Amino acid sequence: MGITCPILGGDTWEAQEFLDQVKAYKDIYFSTHFTAEQPVTALSTTFLNEYKKAYPDKEVNAFAALGFDAYKLALDAMTRANSAEPQKIRDALATTSKFEGATGIITLDENRDATKTAIIKKVVDGKFVFEGKVDPM
């Protein structure tokens, strides 16, 4: 296609289907939520080890880690709300601060957006490779 500059993308690029389409290209970077190469919390390591035991033939990815964190966040909110009522769970989730997840330390801001470490990956030789991380301010 004649593109000679780096290509930047978001977290949904971490899928085998995407990799199959771009593995021959250079300088493709994207942000994501998790990497096995550089765990960001103690829970990241625990999650990674347990995932490998349960699924020895699969590569762990951000989608699995996000599902794990969603489950843990819901349990945490129900515990803090001391309730299973949807409104109380929602209110407890909105006050989430410094929650240790597999994808990082999660705090929800006033817009209920999660602030946490962003992982940067690059496509190298047909694989996703850890390039770096960016911590929230």
Average pLDDT over residues 90-116: 94
Pairing of strands 7-9, 28-32: parallel
Fill in the DSSP letter of residue 62.
Answer: H
Percentage of the chain beyond pLDDT 90 is 71
Identify the band that residue 11 occupies on the pLDDT scale cut at 50, 70 and 90: confident
Kindly list the structural domains of the chain, giving each domain's residue range(s) and its CATH number in brackets, ordered by start: 7-134 (3.40.50.2300)
The pair of three-digit structure tokens given for residue 88, joined into one six-digit string: 């109380």
Q: What is the pTM of this model?
A: 0.86
pLDDT in tens, 84-97: 999 999 999 999 99
Pairing of strands 28-32, 99-101: unpaired
The 3-state DSSP class for residue 1 equals: coil
pLDDT in tens, 50-87: 999 999 999 898 999 999 999 999 999 999 999 999 99
- Report CA-CA distances (Å) from 89 to 66, 73, 83, 98, 105: 19, 10, 7, 17, 20
In this predicted structure, what is the pLDDT of residue 125? Answer: 86
Average pLDDT over residues 110-126: 91
Residue 1 has pLDDT above 70, yes or no: no
In this predicted structure, what is the pLDDT of residue 130? Answer: 93
Torsion of Cα atoms, 42 then 47 then 52 then 53, to 10°? 100
